[in-house]
Structures are given as C-alpha cells and as structure tokens.
Chains A and B, each alone.
Chain A
Amino acid sequence: MRRRLVLLVALSLIGAMLLTACGGGNASTGEEESDVFRVGLEAGYPPFNWTQQDDSNGAVPIDGTSEYAGGYDVEIAKRIAEGLGKELVIVKIEWDGLLPALESGKIDAIIAGMSPTAERAKAIDFTDNYYKSDLVMVVRKGSQYENATSLKDFAGAKITAQLNTFHYEVIDQIEGVIKETAMDNFPAMRVALESGMIDGYVSERPEAISAMAANENFVMVEFTDGGFETSDDDTAVAVGLKKGSPLREKINEILGQISEEERQDIMDQAIKNQPAADN
C-alpha cells in the first residue's frame, strides 16, 4: 500500500510538472506574438458566425480545436487580418466571456455580431459599423402573432430576448407585453419558442431568416406599421477593441473599403452557406 501511495504521489507530481511545462510553453509562444490577430466569437450565431467541421466556404480553423468557424463575421475578420498584414486566429468563446477575454488581452478583437451600445462603449472601444440590420420578432407559425404588423399586436404576448443585449431593453416599448426573463443565447430562445414557453423573441433580420430556414415552425414578423425605436448604435454591429487600441484607425480604414454592396453580398453568401440551410 505504501509503495502504491508513493507511486501515486510521484505520478501526480510528474503530471503537475508536465502541465506547468506545457502551460508555460503555450504562454510564451501563443499569447504574446503580435503578428497574429486573435478574434473572439461564439461560433454559434449564424449567419454571423457558426461552427462547421471542414474548411469549406472559406471557414477558418478555431484555435485549439479541430473545428472551423464560418460566417459573415469570419469573412470580415479575414479582410481585416489581411489589411493588417497579420495571421487570423479565431478563438471560440461564450458570449459572456467575450468582454473579459478582450479586456484581459486573451483576444485582440471581438467580431461577433456585437452592437456598439453606449454601455459596452464604456468598457471597450468600437470601430465603425460593419453591418446594419433591422429588429424583427420571431414567432411560431400558426400563432395569433404570425400576421402582426406593429408593436401593438404584441400586447399580452410573452416576449424575451438575449441577456445583456439591447434586444431585451426594447421589449419595454411594447404596451401590455409580458416580459419574460432574458435568455442566455439564441438556441435557448428558439427551444423556448418551439415549446411554447414564450410567444416570440426579439431578433435581427439575419438571425430570424436563418431560424426560419432551419425550422419551418418559425415565422419572422417585420414591423411594417410601427416597430421598435432603436438608436443607430444598436441596430448596427461593429468590431470591439480594447480601450485605446492602436488598431482602431487601421481597422476603420479597412472597413471603409468594404462597400455597402459588398457587405450585402457577403451577408447573402453567409445566409446561403450557413450549415442550417441544407437541413
């Protein structure tokens, strides 16, 4: 027994040493180099970003895994990295982990369909917009809200939106709405909608289009007759950078060279290429 215990302790010490060794190695080679451009995204928010298993349609390998990330954000990130003359590294992080990762220097930029809200702008810097979209509502097909045209039609409806996004705040503009608890991510909201826990969730057009494409039970409601009042900062998406980042000017210059037409092209392509489209 004693010999076995000694063996156990020895093995664990070796294990610990190996771990520190490889940890140290990674810290010195991977994290500090400046010729890479590390971009953080969820890789789970098509058509802005998603995870796929091969490198088709120009997808980029996700750091530390065998999967690839594709989508509108990735295409923009590729153009920015090219303009900066750096190698693009995609880091897959949960939405809530993106800001801490940026602030602590784990990534150089957030390109994750993130809107440049005033609250976020207090913590991080944003570049110019690289996309702009309308707010819509995703509801169940066949429900009474399917043919809604204005916010008034949603009185009495159970509505939610993603936690820590402006989508959730604009729900207050609907009179008589039942505002449900905010949810962590879009997959969770879609499952809540499908199961009838909510009557709809606030989303942006590209996400709604892909939700419709993937699940025939979902319908997008566009507000033709009085929709959400949003600030320009909210409906647009921009690249998030660490406060005072020297990259900002350069990235703005690169984004300025991507015309509105080209952006729409990339978005259409992304909506077409997203993995859900062929299901």
Chain B
Amino acid sequence: MSFQLVKEIFLDNWPMYLRGAGMTIVISVISTILGAIIGLLIGVVRTIPEPATRGKRVILKVVNTIFSAYVEYFRGTPMIVQAMVIYYGSALLFDIHLNRFVAAIIIVSINTGAYMAEIVRGGITSIDEGQFEAASAIGMTHFQSMFNIILPQVIRNILPATANEFVINIKDTSVLNVIGVTELFFQTKSITGNNFKFFESYFIASGIYLLMTFTITRILRHFEKRLDGPQNYDLVGNQMQV
C-alpha cells in the first residue's frame, strides 16, 4: 500500500465518497432521532402502572403485547432481512411503492426504535421508585410525572446508549445497498469495481466512517455535559449564614 495511491484514489473519487457519506449520515441522523422518539413513546406506555378499571387493563395489555411483538421482531432479525421484507414486501403484497430513501429511513428508524424502547424502559426503571410515589402522592398522572420528572432524567441517562445506537446506525446503513440506496459502502464497492484497488479504497472508506462516528460521539458527549449543568455552584438560599 502506498499513501500516494490512497491520495490519488481519493482525489479521483472524492465526489462519490462524499455523496455516499452524505447519504449515510442523513439516513442515520434522521433515523436515530425518529427511532429515539419511537423508543421514548413506547417506553412511556410500557411503564404505565396497572390501571384500576378492567376495560383499561385489557386495552393496555393489547397495546403492550403489540409493542412487545414489535420490539422482539425488529430486535431479533437482521436489518438486511428487514430491508428486503419491508421494501420488496410492501410492493409485492400491498402494491405500495416506497421511494428508496424513504424506505431506508423507515427501516432504520423502526429498527432503532425497537432497541431504543428497551433502552428507555431500562432508563425509566432505573429511576428511584420513591419519585414515582412522590409524584402520584401530589396527584400527578402517569404522563404528567413522566414528562415533568422522569423523562428529563431518563434522557440524560440514556444518552450514552443512544450514542451507541447512532454509531451502530452509521455503520449498519451499509446493508441498505440491497434496496439500491447508494450509501458509503455501496459507493466504495463501485469504486473498487472500477479501480480494483481494494485495500486503498476501503481504507479511505474506513477513515470516513471513523470521522463520522467520532464526530457524532463527541457531539453527544458535549450534549451530555450541557445537560449535567455546571459542576460547581453556590447554594442560593444560604446567604444569611455567612
């Protein structure tokens, strides 16, 4: 391997690398955000305490069963299989012709949503039981206590796991070429199909992947620090004792 060759390949093909990387990053960013929202909503619903009335209990049970099935299916099957099933299945069975880009976002979002649902559930159950009790003691409903007390803490706590999902998504978009999405991996493959310089071409791709994942994890890390607030602070209300 020569770095001269790596440079040459990059200079020859940078627009293809760049467009592939753009496609990869756009799909992962949108899908991770949508997936996190799906996960949050499912997590909130799945932690609803058992309602008093029978009718509500039945409804909740049905909803929870559907969510469980969703989580198990999308967590338990590879994304490349889901891509085939959703993209081609929707056309064969229901005659729905999804745009490739939209299909890619749907596939990655619901895949991420399944993982995020479990991450959020873990985040919610990790919050001290006493907070739920205190919230219901002052008359808050489940959703009130969730949105005002629990979720703000959960979001901070699940950020590292979300960063994980983000990184995984950036890498896993590489399976979407089976439905014709020209992301970074597919572009690199086309480049090697032309120049037959495999190591050098994929070496460049690895650098671009690393750049993307590293930047994303740094940004989320910064976000975590912002949410943590300042490390040093003056207690307000204590002036009189000075």
CB atoms of A274 and B99 under 8 A apart: no
Give the distance in Å from the alpha carbon of A22 to the alpha carbon of B103 in the complex. Answer: 12
B229 to chain A, nearest CB (A): 12
- Taking each of B30, B179, B187, B194, which has the highest tally of chain A beta carbons within 10 Å of its own beta carbon? B194
CB atoms of A211 and B196 under 8 A apart: yes
Give the distance in Å from the alpha carbon of A12 to the alpha carbon of B35 in the complex. Answer: 10
Q: Is A258 part of the binding interface, using a Cβ–Cβ cutoff of 8 Å? A: no
Partner of A92, one of B13, B30, B102, B180: B180
CB atoms of A16 and B178 under 8 A apart: no
Q: Is B186 part of the binding interface, using a Cβ–Cβ cutoff of 8 Å? A: yes
* A190 proximity list for chain B (CB < 8 A): 196, 198
CB atoms of B16 and A103 under 8 A apart: no
What is the interface of chain B mostly: helix, strand, loop, or mixed? helix
Partner of A43, one of B152, B178, B190: B190
Binds A, one of B49-57, B60-68, B88-96, B211-219: B88-96
CB atoms of B199 and A67 under 8 A apart: no
Residue of A nearest to B91 (CB): A104
CB atoms of B19 and A66 under 8 A apart: yes
Give the distance in Å from the alpha carbon of A3 to the alpha carbon of B194 in the complex. Answer: 52
CB atoms of B92 and A64 under 8 A apart: no
* B15 proximity list for chain A (CB < 8 A): 53, 66
* A65 proximity list for chain B (CB < 8 A): 19, 182
Q: Is A235 part of the binding interface, using a Cβ–Cβ cutoff of 8 Å? A: no
* B186 proximity list for chain A (CB < 8 A): 92, 94
Size of the A side of the interface (Cβ < 8 Å), in residues, is 57
CB atoms of A1 and B194 under 8 A apart: no
* A103 proximity list for chain B (CB < 8 A): 88, 92
CB atoms of B189 and A185 under 8 A apart: yes
CB atoms of B189 and A12 under 8 A apart: no
CB atoms of A276 and B30 under 8 A apart: no
Give the distance in Å from the alpha carbon of A27 to the alpha carbon of B180 in the complex. Answer: 16
* A104 proximity list for chain B (CB < 8 A): 87-89, 91-92
CB atoms of B102 and A26 under 8 A apart: yes
* B179 proximity list for chain A (CB < 8 A): 93, 97, 101
* B79 proximity list for chain A (CB < 8 A): none
Also in contact, A275 and B194, with CB within 8 A (given A64-B182, A97-B179, A100-B88) = yes
- Taking each of A9, A23, A46, A101, which has the highest tally of chain B beta carbons within 10 Å of its own beta carbon? A23
CB atoms of B147 and A2 under 8 A apart: yes
Task: Compute the total of residue contacts between A and B using a CB distance below 8 Å.
Answer: 137
Q: Is B105 part of the binding interface, using a Cβ–Cβ cutoff of 8 Å? A: yes
Contact residues of B between 68 and 97, Cβ < 8 Å to A: 84, 87-89, 91-92, 96-97
* B148 proximity list for chain A (CB < 8 A): 1-2
Partner of B193, one of A16, A67, A186: A186
Give the distance in Å from the alpha carbon of A23 to the alpha carbon of B178 in the complex. Answer: 19
CB atoms of A50 and B92 under 8 A apart: no
Give the distance in Å from the alpha carbon of A60 to the alpha carbon of B177 in the complex. Answer: 20
Q: Is B127 part of the binding interface, using a Cβ–Cβ cutoff of 8 Å? A: no
CB atoms of B91 and A50 under 8 A apart: no
Interface CB pairs A-B, < 8 A, 30: A2-B148, A8-B37, A15-B30, A22-B99, A23-B102, A26-B99, A27-B96, A31-B97, A40-B180, A44-B194, A46-B193, A50-B190, A53-B13, A53-B15, A64-B101, A64-B182, A65-B182, A67-B16, A91-B180, A93-B178, A94-B178, A94-B186, A97-B88, A100-B84, A103-B88, A105-B91, A106-B97, A187-B189, A211-B196, A214-B196
> Which B residues form the contact surface with A (CB < 8 A)?
13, 15-16, 19, 30, 33-34, 37, 84, 87-89, 91-92, 96-102, 105, 147-148, 151-152, 177-180, 182, 186-187, 189-199
> Which A residues form the contact surface with B (CB < 8 A)?
1-2, 5, 8-9, 12, 15-16, 19-20, 22-23, 26-27, 30-32, 40, 42-46, 50-53, 62, 64-67, 91-94, 96-97, 100-101, 103-106, 185-187, 190-191, 194, 211, 214-215, 274-276, 279
